[in-house]
Structures are given as C-alpha cells and as structure tokens.
C-alpha cells in the first residue's frame, strides 16, 4: 500500500489550487455521502443556517469555496460542515511545554481515506499550515498567531446534531489566536461526535478538551490524549485501536523522557501502528514546534520541515508496509 502526499501553498483567498483539490477529491466524498452510513441529513438551508449561527465569520469563505466548486446542493451542504456522516479515526497526541513548546501527534487511519495534503493557506488573514480533511477541514494544524490544534476520536458511539470536528478546527485556526479563544469557540460550537482536541499556544498554555454531542464539554489540563474519554464506553473500539496501552505509554513518556525521545517513540509501537488495511495505520507523525514556528512531518525514513516563511511545495509517494511494521518514502 502507499500514500500520495502533497504540500500545497495558496496565498490569499482560496483559488485555483483549492479548486483543483476539490476536483480531485470530491468524487470520493460524493460517493461517501451517498452510502447508507450517511443516514438522515439536513437540508442545504438548515446547514447554511447552522453555519451562519455558529461560525458566521466563515460565511464569506464558504460562499467563495462554493463558487470555485460550482457546488450543487450536495456539495454546498457538505462544505458547511454541518451534520456529516459519522467517521472514526485512531490518533495519539501530546503537548510538551518545558523546553520548546510542541504539539506532537500520530494520525492513524486508512491510507485510501485521507487526502494526503498539507496546505499553507491564508483565507482570512491568518496564515495556517494544516493537514487537510473534508476539503475544508483540519486534522491538525498551526496558525501564524502561534496556536496549534489536533483531534482524536473520543471512543464513544454517540452521534448528535453538530458539525464535523475537522470543520470546527478550521474555524479555530482561522479566527482564534490563543488557547483561551479556542476554548471559547469549542465550547459553543456543537460537535456531532465525541472527539478529543489538544490545544497549545506559543505562551505554553495548553488544554485537552473532551467534546461530545450528548454531554457538556470537559476541559482538562492533561497534556495527552488517545481514543477514549475517561472510562471506556465502547470496549470493542478500545480493543481494536489499543487506546489504553497508547494512553499509558504517553503518560509514562511525559514523566521522564526528553522531547527527542518522545518524538522517536511516536515512530514505534504502541504509538505507531501498521494495520493499514484495517484502517488503523499511522499515516504520518507531525510535530508543531511553536517556539520556532516549524512544522515537521515525519516517517521512519524521512522528515519534511516547513515554515510560514519558507513553505516548499512538492509531493512524495509514501510506501506503507504492514507485515514488517515499517514505512519508506521515495520521491
């Protein structure tokens, strides 16, 4: 198996490069939206009303994206981010603040179900480097103001009324400058599924938030997260993604390991996973170093560093090896 990964930079408002991303990936999203898993979906009017209510600052960007996409009702509804189909990812994430202020995370998913794009954008004046999802959404990212975010599935079956978390994190990076502003935003915008969100800013302030559609947000100062929220409420999922062992590993690492040792541990089991065909393989490790404004994407054999001032476009073919629990990269 392999993953085609791209680095794309588009200054200013969304334009031809985002339009090309849409053309490439929309057919797969359209097919996904047509499956039985999509369930009951709200109307375009209801979706747009929700966007205007909860994230009004995104409206002008949203309308521009719809124009670029020549969006029909289905695409226009999807781009609001409101009430998408359910999705479940793995992921481990941790915050370090003692020396350099960093957010580290592994993104665990099926390689055929990811866009494989790191995008530098400036849609609303705030430059953002993010790993893209759902055409407009964010799996993890950092903005020029010095705020970094990442998501991991919360390990609960509950599905309710709200937005997909990647869409919410896009809003956070576009319009929030620090952790406190991000917490306010995440406390008022409903998430349609249970997700853990890690936040850290350049001052070293950090929070881990437990979001869910059926209970109040929980704001913690635990500097790491995997795929559960306190007690295990979905044993089958917890066993599949080994969330308890990964959580314990992160807890132990943060007690006495250096930043370099912790980063290396993200490339080894139990944090690193190679069950790609089952949808639980580590597609990338990323380190957001807020102290120096550097983003580093890592695999076992190579790393790619980017900054806001010097972002280099390009692509890699990442070869994923299940049986030997390894990955390699070739240009």
Q: Which pLDDT belongs to residue 330?
A: 29
Q: Which pLDDT belongs to residue 39?
A: 64
SS3 state of residue 39: coil
Q: How far apart are the first and last CA of the chain?
A: 16
Mention every residue, 6+ apart, whose C-beta is less than 8 A from residue 67.
none
Relative to beta strand 294-298, strand 280-289 is antiparallel
How does DSSP assign 126-174, residue by residue?
S-EEEEEETTTEEEEEEETTSEEEEEEE-S---B-SSB-HHHHHHHHHH
Instruction: Output b/e per residue, 21-58; b: 16+ Cβ within 10 A.
Output: bbeebbeebeebbeeeeeeebeebeebbebbeebbeeb
Mention every residue, 6+ apart, whose C-beta is less than 8 A from residue 105.
91, 92, 93, 94, 140, 150, 152, 198, 266, 285, 286
Neighbours of 122 (CB within 10 A): 18
> pLDDT tens digits for the chain (331 residues)?
899 999 999 999 999 999 999 999 999 999 999 875 666 789 999 999 999 999 999 999 999 999 999 999 999 999 999 999 998 989 999 999 998 999 999 999 999 999 999 999 999 999 999 999 999 999 999 999 999 999 999 999 999 999 999 999 999 999 999 999 999 999 999 999 999 999 999 999 999 999 999 999 999 999 999 999 999 999 999 999 999 999 999 999 999 999 999 999 999 999 999 999 999 999 999 999 999 999 999 998 899 999 999 999 999 999 887 755 433 332 2
Q: Which pLDDT belongs to residue 325?
A: 41
Q: Which pLDDT belongs to residue 326?
A: 38
Q: Which pLDDT belongs to residue 323?
A: 56
Tell me the HSE value of 196 on the side-chain side, using a 13 A CA sphere.
Answer: 28
Whether domain 2-13+86-330 has CATH 3.60.60.10 = yes
Burial class (CB in 10 A: 0-12, 13-18, 19+), 221: exposed
Question: Is residue 210 a contact partner of residue 56, using CB atoms and an 8 Å limit?
Answer: no
Q: Which pLDDT belongs to residue 62?
A: 98
Question: What span, in angstroms and rounded, lies between the C-alpha atoms of 45 and 229?
Answer: 34
Q: Domain segments of the chain: what residues?
A: 2-13+86-330
Asked if the peptide bond before residue 232 counts as cis, ω within 30 degrees of 0, the response is: no
């Amino acid at each position: 198996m392999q993953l085609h990964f791209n680095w794309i930079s588009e200054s200013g408002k969304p334009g031809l490069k985002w339009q090309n991303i849409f053309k490439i990936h929309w057919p797969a999203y359209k097919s996904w939206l047509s499956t039985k898993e999509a369930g009951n979906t709200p109307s375009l009017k209801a979706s747009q009303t929700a966007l205007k209510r909860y994230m009004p600052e995104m409206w002008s960007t949203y309308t521009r994206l719809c124009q670029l996409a020549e969006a029909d009702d289905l695409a226009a509804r999807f781009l609001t981010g409101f009430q998408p189909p359910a999705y479940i990812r793995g992921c481990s994430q941790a915050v370090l603040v003692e020396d350099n202020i960093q957010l580290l995370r592994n993104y665990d998913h099926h390689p055929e179900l990811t866009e494989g794009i790191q995008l530098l954008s400036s849609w609303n004046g705030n430059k953002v480097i993010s790993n893209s999802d759902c055409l407009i959404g964010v799996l993890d990212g950092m903005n020029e103001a010095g705020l970094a975010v990442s998501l991991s599935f919360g390990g609960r079956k509950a599905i309710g009324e709200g937005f997909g978390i990647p869409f919410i994190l896009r809003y956070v990076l576009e319009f929030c400058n620090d952790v406190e502003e991000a917490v306010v935003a995440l406390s008022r915008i409903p998430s349609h599924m249970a997700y853990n969100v890690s936040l850290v800013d350049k001052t070293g302030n950090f929070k881990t938030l437990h979001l869910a559609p059926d209970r109040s947000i929980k704001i913690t100062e635990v500097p790491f997260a995997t795929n559960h929220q306190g007690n295990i409420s979905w044993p089958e999922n917890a066993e599949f993604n080994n969330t308890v062992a990964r959580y314990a590993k992160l807890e132990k690492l943060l007690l006495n390991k250096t930043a370099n040792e912790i980063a290396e541990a993200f490339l080894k089991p139990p944090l690193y996973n190679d069950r790609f065909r089952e949808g639980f393989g580590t597609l990338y490790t990323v380190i957001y170093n807020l102290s120096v404004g550097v983003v580093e994407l890592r695999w076992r054999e190579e790393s790619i560093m980017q900054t806001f001032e010097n972002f280099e476009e390009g692509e890699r073919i990442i070869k994923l090896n299940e049986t030997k629990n390894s990955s390699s990269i070739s240009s």
